[in-house]
Amino acid sequence: MTSPHGLPVDLLDRLVIIRTLPYTPQEMVQILAIRAQVESIGIDEDSLAYLGELGERTSLRHAVQLLTPAMMLAKTNGREEITRGDLEECDSLFHDAKFSARLLAEQADKYIS
């Protein structure tokens, strides 16, 4: 018997399919602000907005993972709050998964296979 999604009809009847949507930049900023507060990381509104844009361009996971190295960079420079410059420097040092995969595909001839 053929059924939608390749699942048996009785199993499909028991499942609930919930439609999800990607986060908006404002929702990402809110999530990042909560995460920064939980981790006791000081960050200004401009930096949060930049991080939201970065999360929209790459992924929320990548944006969240930039908080800790940016805080380390700010503390190294004698500041207690992350600035946009810290985030830009961290973004140039740490690439997201999609960028890394694209870079490996483009430079595949330079690696041993």
**Secondary structure tally for the chain: helices H, strands E:** 7, 2
Q: What is the predicted pLDDT for the residue at 81?
A: 96
User: For residue 54, what is the domain's CATH number?
Assistant: 1.10.8.60
42-43 and 81-82 beta bridge pairing: parallel
In a domain? residue 110: no
Q: What is the predicted pLDDT for the residue at 5?
A: 75
Q: What is the predicted pLDDT for the residue at 19?
A: 84
In a domain? residue 56: yes
Q: What is the predicted pLDDT for the residue at 13?
A: 78
In a domain? residue 75: yes
Write down how long the chain is: 113
Q: What is the predicted pLDDT for the residue at 1?
A: 63
**How many domains does one find in the chain?**
1
Q: What is the predicted pLDDT for the residue at 4?
A: 73
In a domain? residue 4: no
In a domain? residue 38: yes
pTM of the model: 0.77
In a domain? residue 66: yes
| Full 3-state SS string of 73-112 | HHHHCCCCEECHHHHHHHHHHCCCHHHHHHHHHHCHHHCC
In a domain? residue 29: yes
Q: What residues make up the domain containing 33?
A: 21-96
What's the average pLDDT block by block, 10 residues per block, for the chain (113 residues)?
A: 75 80 93 96 95 93 95 96 96 91 90 79
In a domain? residue 42: yes
Q: What is the predicted pLDDT for the residue at 29?
A: 96
Q: Other C-beta atoms within 10 Å of 50: how many? A: 21
